[in-house]
Amino acid sequence: MLRDMVEVMDINLLDRILQAMRTAASVPTLVPELPKGVRPIHLRVLDALSRTRGDNGCSRVSDIAAALGMRMPNVTRIIREMTDLGMLEKTSDPTDGRVVLIRTTDLGEEYVDRYIVGVRQRIEHELMAEVSMDDIESMIVTIDAIRTAVDKACGRGESTAA
């Protein structure tokens, strides 16, 4: 009977852990309502572009794809959508005409300011008011450890079990 109680507690704990992970995974989607046609992935691309662009304000599609951890054909399709929506524009690399460079338009910059920078600043402000840096660091380490354990349990990582 004690063993059954321990297993129930472990199952409840695991359920709570998995629910917390799902909740954490949903945070990037908690942005203000977006304009018609704009999707959360568009904001991720704008963010990646703003972090990878060079002095000329442009990024290569391959750099954006690498920053997102996505395949080039998928990023190319999303960039085409964003270009059609007026957020991005394409240009040729002056040193290598085969290379396509991407830059934000004024509308794209407005979205970066409103939906990325502005939201981040508000979240950081609230987070720092509610949660200590020690707790934040501990959470990061714990989430990484849980992810590693789940990967091992599901056969996606090296198992330490003999």
H or E element in which residue 60 lies: strand 59-60
Which pLDDT score is estimated for 155? 84
Which pLDDT score is estimated for 67? 97
How far apart CA 146 and CA 50 sit, in angstroms, is 31
How far apart CA 160 and CA 150 sit, in angstroms, is 13
* Tokens 């852990």, located at residue: 17
pTM of the full structure: 0.70
At the topology level, CATH places domain 27-130 in Arc Repressor Mutant, subunit A (1.10.10)
pLDDT by 10s per residue, the chain, length 162: 545 544 555 778 888 888 888 888 877 666 788 899 999 999 999 999 999 999 999 999 999 999 999 999 999 999 999 999 999 999 998 888 888 999 999 999 999 999 998 888 888 888 889 999 999 999 899 989 988 888 898 887 654 444
DSSP label of 124: H
Q: C-alpha 94: how far from its chain's center?
A: 31
Which pLDDT score is estimated for 7? 56
Which pLDDT score is estimated for 60? 95
> What angle is formed at CA 23 by the lines to CA 156 and CA 42, rounded to 5 degrees?
85
Compute the 3-state secondary structure of the chain and give helix, strand, coil in percent, each to the nearest 5: 65, 10, 25
- A 10 A CB-CB count for 8 gives 10
Which pLDDT score is estimated for 161? 45
CA neighbor of 107 nearest in space, from 38, 18, 33, 51: 38
